[in-house]
Structure 1
């Protein structure tokens, strides 16, 4: 299947849609989920056009997971998180809702997770959490 460059994450990468950014370099972007399952829910995406993990170039996958780890450590430090749920859903059958490979970092216990994308989060609260995470990077 061909990559859909009109998906929401592709539009964020091109600057067509806003995002509350936590980290960015030439290969990866990390930003806050605006419909979080827990406070501090952060998404990490490669800038490479890939729909699922299986479509992602191995070098891009390697680099992206290094940034996932870096951002996870910052979330732990900034929010005093006792645990981080790392989720990567590949394909609609697995629950993937945006056709661009992405990693969810959710500071929470797996037993306390809310359902994803049910309700828009408080944007000011999300921005304040992003600032804490950025300061810890």
Structure 2
């Protein structure tokens, strides 16, 4: 008996929703890329959080030709960031090798930037594939979730939160604008330091 096909098999396609209805594709199309080591000022029109109106405001923290990262609109904790490819890729196995490599690079940088901006030194990186795995938006994305006060949470809440489920609240837009600016600034500092040689 042969094993089940995988998305890498040439005759198999993973389920794709219409990219025109994908909220992450709309965000990627709305916000142009910029040099992460020299982000535009917070007042720049290319970072205008109302640009996606009437959709929820988007607070971009990283924008490259291949990837975009922004604050989650229903965060599990302050600083909860989503990182995804600009192109519509439903699952991790749909990403190109170049997208996957760049995502790995920036997961590391964003993790350090979010920790620096929030002051929270522990976090989860979560990536869900498919509805049964708790993926809500069928556009591949990584969650970076700062984890303050873990000892105060019950095991059930910890497990749910770790997999992208759990108690969530609407993003406070005023707080989000400041935090997004701090994360972009931290990304720039980290990128410049890395270009100069020292590791994160």
Fold conserved (TM > 0.5)? yes
Task: Tell me if 1:131 matches 2:181.
Answer: yes
Q: Displaced runs of 4+ in structure 1, greater than 2 A?
A: 1-4, 109-119
CA contact (8 A) 1:76 1:82 kept: yes
Q: Which has the higher contact order (CA 8 A, sep 6+)?
A: 1
Higher strand residue share = 1
Task: Tell me if 1:4 matches 2:18.
Answer: yes
Q: Specify every segment of 5 or more residues in structure 1 that has no aligned partner in the other structure, as ranges.
A: none
Superposition map of 1:1-137 within 5 A: 1-5=15-19, 6-15=21-30, 17=52, 18-109=57-148, 111=150, 112=153, 115-116=165-166, 118-137=168-187
Aligned residues: 137
Q: Specify every segment of 5 or more residues in structure 2 that has no aligned partner in the other structure, as ranges.
A: 1-14, 31-50, 188-200
Q: Using the alignment, how far apart are the partners of 1:19 and 1:44 within structure 2?
A: 13
Larger Rg belongs to: 2
TM-score of the superposition, structure 2-length normalised?
Answer: 0.63
Q: What is the deviation of 1:123?
A: 1.2
Are the structure 2 counterparts of residues 98 and 11 from structure 1 closer, same or farther at C-alpha, using a change threshold of 3 Å? same
CA contact (8 A) 1:51 1:101 kept: yes
Q: Using the alignment, how far apart are the partners of 1:12 and 1:110 within structure 2?
A: 32
CA deviation vs aligned residue, 1:58-79 (integer Å, no higher than 9, x gap): 2211111211111111111122
Q: What is the deviation of 1:116?
A: 4.8
Q: Using the alignment, how far apart are the partners of 1:110 and 1:48 within structure 2?
A: 36
TM-score of the superposition, structure 1-length normalised?
Answer: 0.89
Q: What is the deviation of 1:28?
A: 0.7
Q: What is the deviation of 1:118?
A: 3.9
CA RMSD of aligned residues (A): 2.0
CA deviation vs aligned residue, 1:36-65 (integer Å, no higher than 9, x gap): 000011111111221011111122111112
Are the structure 2 counterparts of residues 57 and 117 from structure 1 closer, same or farther at C-alpha, using a change threshold of 3 Å? farther
CA contact (8 A) 2:76 2:169 kept: no
